[in-house]
Structure 1
Amino acid sequence: MPEIYFRVRWPDGETQRCYSPSTVVEDYFTAGSAYDLADFVDRSRTALGIAGERVREKFGFHCTGASDQLARIERTASAYASLPGAKVTVEALVNADGSAR
């Protein structure tokens, strides 16, 4: 399956490299776009859920990498939940080899 990474910038400026086992995240995120915190988490849940299911359909097991990534996103997002108007920016979508999409 084509892996993809998406680099995000959290409201405090910290960046995080996120993993998806499927390019489906391209249907939910656009490089350079900022998302309200709750919207970003919801989109992540949907995209990574679909990505994990795609792995299950192809290989017979759910992708723990997708589940683990979602858990890290949710944990990080919870630290910013009290910030009014908090935004998360998707800085880039990149291939597993580091090349831009």
Structure 2
Amino acid sequence: MPEMQFAVRWPDGTDASYYSPSLVVHDFLDAGSVYPVDEFVRRATEALDIASERVRAKYGFACTSAMHTQESIALAATRNPLGDVTVTALEPPREGAPA
């Protein structure tokens, strides 16, 4: 199962990188896009829920790494409740995306 990292800059200027066990994050976030904190958390959580369920379907158990990523994002959001989150990178990039 392909996995990926996504990097963001929080409103306070903190850069963070997060893990997903699935490329599904590409369906919810775009590199270079800016999202209000609550919208970013909603989109990331939904993507990670789907990613974890894909792991469950393939291996018979949910992905604890995806759950840990969700917790890390939620914690960062409590420190940055207002403002925008910038998605600085999605790795690997979506197939067919300009290099």
Length-normalised TM-score, structure 2: 0.91
CA offset digits 1:40-85 (Å, max 9, x no partner): 000011000000000000010000000000000000101111x3xx
Match for 1:43: what amino acid? R
Q: Partner of 1:4 in structure 2?
A: 4
Count of residue pairs the alignment pairs up: 94
**Aligned-residue identity in percent:** 50
Deviation at 1:12, TM superposition (A): 1.2
Structure 2 residue ranges without an equivalent (≥5): 95-99
Q: Partner of 2:47 in structure 1?
A: 47
Length-normalised TM-score, structure 1: 0.90
The 4+ residue runs of structure 1 with deviation greater than 6 A are none
Distance 2:43 2:50 in 1: 11
Deviation at 1:26, TM superposition (A): 0.1
Structure 1 residue ranges without an equivalent (≥5): none
Matched, 1:87 2:84: yes
State the superposition RMSD in angstroms: 0.9
Distance 1:54 1:10 in 2: 28
Where in structure 2 are the equivalents of 1:60-79 lying within 5 Å?
A: 60-79=60-79
Match for 1:18: what amino acid? Y
